[in-house]
Structure 1
C-alpha cells in the first residue's frame, strides 16, 4: 500500500497513523520525506516472512507422493494448496531455517520454484495538502473518455485491507468478496487504505455526492488480504488474486511494492491474465532506482504530479510500465469521509480504472491487447519512448478508450513450441524433467504436455516444464507432445520420441556412485556455524544425496550436490560424525563419513 493520508472532512476527521512492524516487503504506502516510517524492502532492512513457512510450486505432472517425499526430507509438509496455480504452502519444523530449505528446494529440478512466504506491510503515512477537486481526472482526459465508457459491466478486485461498504460513494457498488486474512466473508476495512484505493478506481460518479473516480460505473470486489496494520503474506495475496479471477474480476489492483519479485504472485497474475484480466501494481515510494526485473504479467505504475513530473518519492527502474497521477488524489475515506492522498498506491488504481474503461467499451479484447493499447496510447514523458521513470508514459484514458473501441481481436498467429529436453532419441527412466520452449506474438496462455496421446498436465507460466513418472508406461518407445495455446485459441504442437528403459537400467546398472564431503575437512575443529558441502557422481546419474549428522538425517536433495548450514551451538563438545549417502537411479548407494571436533 502507499498513501500519504488525508485530511478528512470535519464530520469524520481522522489522521491515520500506520506503525512500522518488524517485516519489510512493503505495501507501497510511504511518501518520501516521512523519515523513520519507511519500511525498507529496497532500503536497508532484511525482508521478513511468515515463520516456518515457504511456498513451493512443483512442476506440473509431479506425483503428489514424489512431492511429499521431497518435502519430507526437510521435515516439510504441505498444509495448503493454491489450486489455481498449484502452489503449496509448506510448513517446516521449528528451528529449521526457512531460507536454507527454500534455497535447497530451489535447486530441485522437479520444482519450478521455492520461496519464502514474504510479509508485506504498510510503511507509514504523513499529511498531504488538502485538494478541493480531482485535478488528476482531466489530466488523464477521463471526462472525454466517459463519453464512450464509464466502466459499466467490469468488476475491479481491490486486494487490500477491506472496503467500507457503507460509504455513500461506494454503497451499492460492491459485489461479494472474501477475507483471506481471517478466512471468512467479512471484508470490512480494518485499516482504511483499501477504501481509499477503491474510491480512486470506482467511487460513484455524477451522483451529486462526494468525489468522482476514473471508472465510476465499475463494480468493486473487496478482497481483504491484510491485517489491521496493513501487513499480509504472499500466499494470501496469491489466493485472493486467483479467487477474484475465478469469480469474474477483469481487473485487480495490488497497491504493494515488490510483488513482481515473487514467483508466486507472478504465477497468480499470469493466471488472471489467462482468464482475460489484468493486474495493476504500485512502483513504490522510495524515490530511488530499483533493480527489479520487468514482467508482462502485471502493469507496474510510477507516480506523477500535476505538472506531469515524476514525484520525488516515486520509485523507478526497468520494471516500470506506465506513469499515472499519484499526488493529492481526492478519494473516499473509511467511515464516510473524503480527502486527498499521495503515493503510488493511488497511481496504480488510477491505471486500474482506465483499464476498466477500456474493457467496458470493448469486452471482446484480450488482456494482452488491452495492455498493448494502454501502453501505446500513453502520453510520452521524459526521454523519447520507454524510460525507467515513466515507462511508456502517462496513461491517457481518452486515447486508450478510443483505441480499444475501434479495435477488434486480431491475433491469428499461432505460437511456436518445441520440446527442448529430453531430445528425440534420448533414453529416459524414473522421474523425468521435461522442458518446453514456447513463444507467441501476443502471449502464451498455457502449454499442455501429452504422453503417448494422453494429457499429463498443463503449465501456465514460463519457463514451461513438467515432471513425468516414466514408470507409469511400459519400457519402449514413448512420444512426448507439447501443445502451446494463446489467449484466443491459436495453437501449435511439437513432439519428441524417447525410449523408456526403467527395467533395463535397474537390472544392468551395478556401478556404485562416489560421494565426497568437501567441507568441513576430516578432523577439523568447528565453530558455532558450519557449512556442510557434499557432492556425488555416477556413471548413469545421481538420484539423491542425503546428509546425516551423528546418525540423524538433516537434509536430502534430488541431485548431485548438497549444501547445509549446521548450527552447532546446541551440540555437545567432542567428536561428531558427518556422513553423506549417495544413491543412483538403480538404487546403488555409496557412503562417505568424516569426523569433526567441537
Structure 2
C-alpha cells in the first residue's frame, strides 16, 4: 500500500469516528465505565473485609479528633458561598484622613462632589462615605486622588452573626451530642453560689451584637444604657434574640428557679447594637462600637459575631481597645471547618470554640491553630427577648462564657493588663484533647476556679483529662495505642504521683516523678484488641494518684468499658 492510500485510509477512519460520536445515542466514555466498575469492585471489597473484621461499635466520647468536621455543615457553607455576594458593602468606602483637624473641611469637600458622609470615628481618623448612584470606581478614584488629606481608601466589610446551628441534630455519626442546659457553670467549675454572686463586680462587659432586652428580669439590674450604631440612636432593644441570649450567659442573675445563671452576675453589661435584626452588619459599625465601648470604660469586648474577610480597620480598632486596657474575646464560627472567623483569628484576640455538655468537640465549631480555648456551646439555657428563655447553640454561646470568666478574673485583679489576663486564661485551662494545645480544643476549657486562685493558696489537683485510642476505631486483632493524658490542674508542683491503669487483663502502675503547674503528660501504652470475644466485659481505665490531698479527686480517673456484644 503506497503513501496516498495510507492518507486516504487515515481520513476515512477519522470521519467514521466523528460520525459515531455524533450520532450514537448510547455512547458512554470507556473511562466512565471503568470508573463505575472499579467503584463497584472497591465497594464489594470493603463489604467483604467488613465481614471479616467488624469494627467494635464503641468509642469513648472524649476521643479527640472524632467527628472534627461535619460534612453537612461544610456542604452548606459551599452552597452559601456560591450564592453570596461580595464581602464588601457595595457603594461605600472608608477613608483614612491625615489628621483629625481636617475632618470637617474634608466633609465639605466630599459633599461638594456628591459623596455623602455617613459616619466618622475621629479616634482612628476614619470616615464612612456613600458614593453617588452610578459613579464608577475609576471616577471615584480620580476624585479622591485629588484630595491630599485622604491617605487611604478601604472597603467596608460585611459582618454577621455566625451560622445558625440552633436546630442541629443531637447525634453526630451515631454519637449523641450532649446538651449543656443549665450546667455551664459546673463545666467551668464555677460552682460556689456565694462566690459567683460577686464575680464581675465593677467590671463593664461590652456586648457588640443585635442588641439586648434590658427589661428582662434576669438582666435589667446590671444592663447599662448603650448605643445603637445600626440606627444611630440610643435604642438597643433586640428583635433577633442573639444578643439577649449572649447577655444571659454573662450576667444572668439566677435569682429564680427558671432564671439564667450567668458566669459573672455582678458585672455590668454595656449593650452596643452593631448588627441589624437579621444579624447582618458592617465593619465600620463594629469599630464604632469597639471605640465607643472602651471609651465608656469597658474592660471586655464580647464579639459573638465576625466576618470571613480581613478588615484592616477592624484590626486597628482592636489594637485601640487593647491599648485602652480591654480584653477582646470572639467566636471561632459555626462552619464545622478548619478556619476561623475574624476578628477571632487576629493576634491578641481570645478565639473561642464550642464543646457539648460532655466536653466533646461540637461538630459545628470551627477549629484550627488559632483556637485558644473552648467553652460550652450546645443547647445552653439562657435569656430571650420579652422576658423569655431559650436553648442557644453555637460558638456565639461559648464566647460569653469566656467573657464572663474574664470579668470574674478582672473583678479580683483589676490591676492586670489585657496581655496578662489573656495569658492567665490560656494557662489556667483544663486540657481536653491530646496533651497540651491542639486544633480542636486549643488550650482546653476555661476553669474559673483555677483562674481565681490566689498566689498564696496551696492547691494540689491532679487530673486524668483524656483517655483515647489510636486509631479510634477498634478492630478485633488489631494493634492500637491507648493514650492516658494526665495534667497538674493545681497551683503547686506535683513532686510525686502514681498512675494506675488496667487494660483488659493487664494491671500495673507507673511512677510520675514531677509534674509542673498546668503541665500535661501523655502516657501511651500498646494494646492488641482481642480477636475472640472475651468472657466478660473488658475495662480500659486509669487513675492518677498523688501524695498530697487532692482538691478535685473526682477528676483523677476515667474508664472505657467494652461489652461482649461489641465483638458480634
Aligned equivalent of 1:396: 447
- 2:219 counterpart of 1:170: yes
Change (3 A) 1:404 1:43: farther
- Contact residue 151 and residue 356 of structure 1 kept, 8 A: yes
Q: What are the within-5 Å matches in structure 2 for residues 183-582 of structure 1?
A: 183-206=232-255, 208-258=257-307, 261-290=310-339, 294-402=345-453
- Confirm or deny that 1:136 pairs with 2:184: yes
Instruction: Give CA deviations for 1:263-288 in whole Å, capped at 9, x if unaligned.
Output: 22221122111111112111111111
Distance 2:95 2:361 in 1: 37
Alignment match of 1:47 (pick from 83, 86, 90): 86
Distance change in 2, residues 1:260/1:242 (3 Å) = farther
CA contact (8 A) 2:180 2:357 kept: no
In 2, Cα distance between equivalents of 1:145 and 1:375: 24
Retained in 1: the 8 A contact 2:166–2:394? no
- Aligned-partner Cα distance in 2 for 1:102–1:321: 41
Whether the aligned pair in 1 keeps the contact of 2:308 and 2:341 (CA below 8 Å) is no
1:142 counterpart SS class: coil
Q: Judging changes above 3 Å, is the alpha-carbon distance between structure 1 residues 248 and 312 closer, same or farther for their aligned structure 2 residues?
A: same
Shift of 1:318: 3.2
Q: Which runs of 5+ in 2 are unaligned?
A: 1-69, 171-177, 458-568
78, 81, 90: which one pairs with 2:129?
90
1:331·1:339 contact (CA, 8 Å) conserved in 2?
Answer: yes
| CA separation of 1:402 and 1:292: change in aligned 2, threshold 3 A | same
CA distance in 1, matches of 2:151, 2:277: 33
Check conservation: 1:328, 1:340, Cα contact below 8 A.
yes
What is the deviation of 1:403?
5.9
Deviation track 1:204-233 (CA, whole Å, cap 9, x = no partner) reads: 135555121111111111111122212112
Distance 1:170 1:77, change over 3 A: closer
CA pair 267-98 structure 1, distance change in 2 beyond 3 A: farther
The 3 A distance-change label for structure 1 pair 131 and 375 is closer
TM-superposed deviation, 1:62: 9.8
TM-score by length of 2: 0.58
Q: How far, CA to CA, are the matches of 2:207 and 2:111 in structure 1?
A: 37
Count of aligned pairs? 375
The change in CA–CA distance for 1:33 and 1:333 in structure 2 (over 3 A counts) is farther
- State whether residues 272 and 278 of structure 1, in contact with CA within 8 Å, keep that contact through their aligned partners in structure 2: yes
Give the drift of 1:155: 1.3
The worse-fitting range, judged by mean Cα deviation, of 311-320 and 369-378 is: 311-320
**Equivalent residue, structure 2, for 1:596:** none
Matched, 1:80 2:128: no
Q: Distance in 1 between matches of 2:74 and 2:136?
A: 32
Render the CA deviation track for 1:24-65: whole Å, top value 9, x for unaligned. xxxxxxx98579986978777343433311223346699669
CA–CA separation in structure 2 for the residues paired with 1:103 and 1:189: 42
Task: Measure how far apart 1:178 and its partner are.
Answer: 0.7
Q: Distance in 1 between matches of 2:393 and 2:456?
A: 31
- Whether the aligned pair in 1 keeps the contact of 2:306 and 2:341 (CA below 8 Å) is no
Cα distance in structure 2, aligned partners of 1:32 and 1:158: 32
Q: Give the SS at the match of 1:157.
A: strand
Using the TM superposition, give the Cα deviation of residue 146 of structure 1 relative to its aligned residue in structure 2, in angstroms. 6.5
Identify the structure with the greater helix proportion. Answer: 2
The aligned runs of 1:88-167 (5 Å cut-off) are 88-96=127-135, 114-122=153-161, 123-127=163-167, 133-143=181-191, 147=195, 150-167=199-216
Structure 1 residue 153: Cα displacement:
0.8
Q: Deviations over 1:71-117 (max 9, x none)?
A: 899986654321222222133233346699799999x9998864321
Which structure has greater strand proportion? 1
Q: Which residue of 2 aligns with 1:57?
A: 96
- Where 1:232 maps in the other structure, the secondary structure is strand
Distance 1:133 1:45, change over 3 A: closer
Shift of 1:154: 0.8
User: For residues 297 and 112 of structure 1, what CA distance do their matches in structure 2 show?
Assistant: 27
Structure 1 residues not aligned, in runs of 5+: 1-30, 407-598
Q: 1:144 to 1:131 in 2, by over 3 A?
A: same
Contact 2:97-2:103 within 8 A present in 1 as well: no
Per-residue deviation at 1:192?
Answer: 1.1
2:97, 2:150 within 8 Å by CA — same for their partners in 1? yes
In structure 2, how many angstroms separate the alpha carbons of the residues matched to 1:43 and 1:317?
24
Separation in 2, partners of 1:383, 1:137: 24
